[in-house]
Structure 1
Amino acid sequence: MRRIALTLIAALLAAYPVSIAVGGGEIPGGPVDSSGLLQVPWRVDEHRLSNGMRALMLQDRRAPSIVFQVWYGVGSRDDPKGKTGVAHMLEHMMFRGTEKYGPKEFSNIVMRNGGSHNAFTSFDYTAYFERIASDRLGLVMELEADRMVNLVLKQEELTPEQKVVMEERRSRTEDSPTGALFEKLRAASYTKHAYRNPIIGWAEDIDGYSLEDLEAFYKRYYTPNNATAVIVGDFDVSEAIRLLEKHFGPIPSLPFEGRPRMTEPEQTTSRRLVVRKEAQLPYVAMAHHAPNWKHDDGPALIMLENILGGGETSRLYQRLVRKDAIALGAGADYTYVSLDPMLFYLYGQPAPGKEAIDVEKTILDEVDRLIRKGVSKEELERNLRSIEAQTIFSMDSHFYRAMQLGRAMIAGDWQLVNGYLPSLAKVTSADIVRVAKKFLRPQNRTTATLVPIPLDKKQPRPKKTKGGQTHGGSR
């Protein structure tokens, strides 16, 4: 499958030859000619029910199947103080049964009808989905509508689920060196905003949930006027609207006071922390506060992310892994579609025998080189075509397209999917240099270094505290 994907991407790139910069050097380039960009078809039908629930529908009749998703405007950023992770816990409890369908009946019904289902919680949203044959659309709508309003919460169901979530946290974070590193890095990067808390929650909070906590959270956020249905696949729009009205229409909307408004103070001094944990190799990661889609600099930050750390052809990978051979991997990560501004990461894992400080210095040296010399038009266009090819290939997936619509809707505007590639084509080399100077500056940076502890010198586990300051061996 990976070979097929790479072949398709290569074919797409070959179909659109890049321009050659005069002189072949690091010559700053202007915006890329967008006339050759492939047009991504987003022919979306919208519908709004009288109770405030929204629906986005995208037809794709290549196969007799559909993806149905219900997105709620609630995520870990909305967790009450002292109850971190409650949004994620409620996601688990949503599979524990309603008045009509008992525990496991939801799953059994979907599977008996040849479908699959799951759910996911993020900082900004919680979403539930089914993949199933087109003629079962009404069935999954009935199931989702039922648990939107009729969830039954019981202590005998909550207690074992708390243990499941604690084990999930243990495996993904506490027993994962890089998982722990990034959790503490995020907690140190934010001082006020709830993005500092892990989606899964802090361990001491998970232990303390009550049924009343979950019931209050459910009643506040699980209401049709805070939900969006997304349907992608082989279906008739008018029939889908009829089914939406039949199953979700009768659910009354509840007074919704909205989501908490949050801001993060500007970071004015660099921060640094060390995480000491059992691991084979060190790791270094840097986080910088950066704006999202609501800011004009968003598209330039996407291009900066791809140029610096977008895979094996990126500058960081080529320099640290291929040329200098001091790292096993290096890259960048930036979140464009979000409710509130997030972070721009730079990271790398030293190769055996190499030091984290050398990886950190080389990453920053590459950032400095980009600022000093700019980006040639050839490199700019090559990266745009790479993003374009990845986007087009991903469009083959019903689930991917539904995800893009849902995420954009929660962030504020599903039409973001239409303007994504054209906005990148307008980015110039000067734009990329400007945002690198503005957001990757030292005063806006928090750096976390993983220092491995040999297994035979394992330190006693300190008492857990919030904020990423001392728990798990960090400082």
Structure 2
Amino acid sequence: MNQPTVSKGWTVLALLALLAVPVDAQVKDYRDIKFPKLPEREVPRPEVHTLSNGLQIFLLEDHELPLIRVTGRIRTGSNYEPADKVGLADFVGQVLREGGTRSMDGDAMNDYLESRAAFVETGMGGDVGTASMNCLKEDFDDVLAVFADVLRNPAFAEDKLALAKQQAKTRIARRNDNIGGIAGREFARLIYGADSPLTQMTEYATVASITRDDLVAWHQRYYHPNNIMLGVVGDFDSIAMKSKLEAAFGDWPKGPDANLPEIVVNEPEPGVHFIEKNDVTQAYVRLGHRGIRTDNPDYYSVQMMNEIFGGGYAARLFSNVRSKKGLAYSVRGSIGSGFLREGIFSVALSTKSETMGASIDALREEIDAIVAAPPTGEEMARAKESILNSFVFNSTSMSQILGQQLTYAYYGYPADFLERYRSGIEKVTREDVARVAKEYIHPDKLVTLVVGKSADFDRPVS
């Protein structure tokens, strides 16, 4: 078979052309590559309406797929349950759906929804109750009827409550199996206080004290239309959807406003604490103190500081504690924030038992350094680029966008919170980061917690 040929003359010319190109034009340092600024994406906003009974609805059309999703926020939460009945709110969130309604028991509801490839779910967080449904557009009316029935007429079946209580007792029995779980739980109790509503724990006695009547009373106290927000996203017409929601919920009478009490976060007492756990080869170390609220004017500067301090592979904690000193596979640290109250400033790692003391020293050195040493220009550029480039992932779907809008509205934050976040990050300077590190990180107020096997430590906990 004849093969194509290239004349020697052309080959020589091609080689000469390549040699004529400067070396630095062929190989360019990645740090010198300039990328164009990402275009700003306009995030759609849902229509917002309030029904005559106070129920707020957020409507966001998305005709890409023949699906409709409803997400609900109920003004309640486990942080507001009585101390002698801890676990009650979680049981409400679970049995509200699993226990069925007065017209359809939970098992029949499972079959009904499964035959339509739909779901209805309920749950409970610390400061919010949740409810959601998802279905094909063609099944929406049927599934909405079930969803409304669950919210309005739960049966709280005794057998489903008994099952939920048994599951809770199993969780109590196993909650000390995981060293990280112990550290996270007990560190929060040290920061917020063991008696705080934020850290109260379900116990066998509190589980035993909870009855079906307690669940009914909780529902009657909080589950009213004027305490609920519903968001709908999917393939629908907004005018028609508003009418459907009015038909499903409009005759639900208003009830008392939730009026959830403010939970005050006190300043924790500095100190060193240790929990013995003899069946582990790792020590879990955590240091920190009280953080900030999300509505703090310095929020954006704090987020930049977090990125530089503990935000990833290039952050100071990872670079120095993991990569250079080899003391931990994973290390993290940040000033946490909360929508309603202060979060927690926390620096944490797990390490070999034999390097527990060295790890504490390394973490304290990094905490001192972030307060004392302002960020470099390179750190600022990398942190800002990282945060802004990840911004696009905050709105990857219409469902995610709707969920964010519900959250902001529920906690009283502006609808353009995300847009403000982006512009706020862009304006942060080196001086801002240096200032907030000094203002919000206090090495002299640290709470230190170590969990592990003390016999294997390199030194006593101190």
Which TM class, normalised by the smaller chain length?
0.7 to 0.9
Higher relative contact order (Cα pairs below 8 Å, separated by 6+ residues): 1
Residues 292 and 335 of structure 2 are in contact (CA less than 8 Å); yes or no, is this contact kept in structure 1? Answer: no
Does the C-alpha gap of structure 1 residues 53 and 82 become closer, same or farther in structure 2, counting only changes over 3 Å?
same
Q: Conserved in 1, the CA contact under 8 Å of 2:317 and 2:331? A: yes
Q: CA deviation at 1:402?
A: 3.7
Residue number in structure 1 paired with 2:366: 366
Note if contact 2:94-2:123 (Cα within 8 Å) is conserved in structure 1: no
TM-score normalised by the chain length of structure 1: 0.81
Aligned residue in 1 for 2:391? 391
2:303 is paired with a residue whose SS is helix
Query: Deviation at 1:285?
Result: 1.3
1:72 to partner: Cα distance: 1.0
* Alignment match, 1:66: 68
Match of 2:231 in 1: 230
2:287 match: 286
> Which position in structure 1 is the counterpart of 2:214?
213
Deviation by residue 1:56-83 (Cα, 9 ceiling, x = unmatched): 2233333332331111122221112222
The CA deviation at 1:16 is: 7.3
Change (3 A) 1:372 1:287: closer
User: How many corresponding residue pairs?
Assistant: 424
Q: Secondary structure at the match of 1:213?
A: helix
Corresponding letter in the other structure for 1:189: I
1:156 to partner: Cα distance: 3.1
Which of 302-311 and 218-227 deviates more? 302-311
Structure 1 residue 141: Cα displacement: 2.8
Aligned to 1:87, which of 77, 86, 89?
Answer: 89
Once the two structures are superposed, the pairs formed by residues 165-180 of structure 1 within 5 Å of their partners are 165-171=168-174, 173-180=175-182
* Offset of residue 443 of structure 1: 4.5
Q: Distance between the aligned counterparts of 1:115 and 1:15, measured in 2?
A: 49
Q: 2:188 aligns with which of 157, 164, 186?
A: 186
Residue 224 of structure 1: how far off its partner (Å)? 1.1
Structure 1 residue 149: Cα displacement: 1.7
Counterpart CA distance in 1 for 2:64 and 2:188 is 42
Q: Which residue of 2 aligns with 1:329?
A: 330
Cα contact 1:339–1:412 (8 A) shared by 2 = no
Give the SS at the match of 1:174: coil
For residues 214 and 187 of structure 1, do their structure 2 counterparts lie closer, same or farther at Cα, with a shift above 3 Å needed?
A: same
Work out whether residues 42 and 418 of structure 1, in 8 Å CA contact, stay in contact via their aligned partners in 2.
Answer: no
State how 1:45-444 maps to structure 2 within 5 Å.
Answer: 45-95=47-97, 96-171=99-174, 173-191=175-193, 193-198=196-201, 201-267=202-268, 269-277=269-277, 278-350=279-351, 352=352, 354-413=354-413, 415=415, 416-444=417-445
Note if contact 2:368-2:443 (Cα within 8 Å) is conserved in structure 1.
no
Instruction: Give the letter aligned to residue 310 of structure 1.
Output: G
Classify 1:238/1:169 alpha carbon distance in 2 versus 1 (closer, same or farther; 3 Å): farther
Distance in 1, matches of 2:389 and 2:233, equals 21
Cα distance in 2, alignment partners of residues 193 and 40 from structure 1: 41
| Amino-acid identity (%) | 21
- Structure 2 contact 67–234 (Cα < 8 Å) conserved: yes
Deviation track 1:25-81 (CA, whole Å, cap 9, x = no partner) reads xxxxxxxxxx86633513221111111111222333333323311111222211122
- Secondary structure of residue in 1 paired with 2:69: strand
Q: CA deviation at 1:124?
A: 1.4
TM-aligned CA deviation for residue 151 of structure 1: 0.9
Preserved contact between residue 124 and residue 338 of structure 1 (Cα < 8 Å): no
For the Cα contact (< 8 Å) 2:100–2:157, is it kept in 1? no
Asked if the contact 1:68–1:131 (Cα under 8 Å) also holds between the matched residues in 2, the reply is yes
Cα 1:337–1:64 change in 2 (3 A) is farther
Change (3 A) 1:335 1:353: closer
Cα-to-partner distance string for 1:127-162 (whole Å, 9 max, x where unaligned): 122333234333343222212221112433322210
Asked if structure 2 preserves the Cα contact closer than 8 Å seen for 1:289 and 1:444, the reply is: no
Which deviates the most, 41-50 or 359-368?
A: 359-368
For the aligned residue pairs, the C-alpha RMSD in angstroms reads 2.9
CA distance in 2 between counterparts of 1:202 and 1:234 reads 45
Larger radius of gyration: 2
Note if contact 2:275-2:451 (Cα within 8 Å) is conserved in structure 1: yes
* Contact persistence 2:96–2:122 (CA under 8 A): no
SS in 2 for 1:157: helix
Q: Does 1:44 align with 2:46?
A: yes
Gapped runs of 5+ residues in structure 1? 1-12, 19-34, 455-475
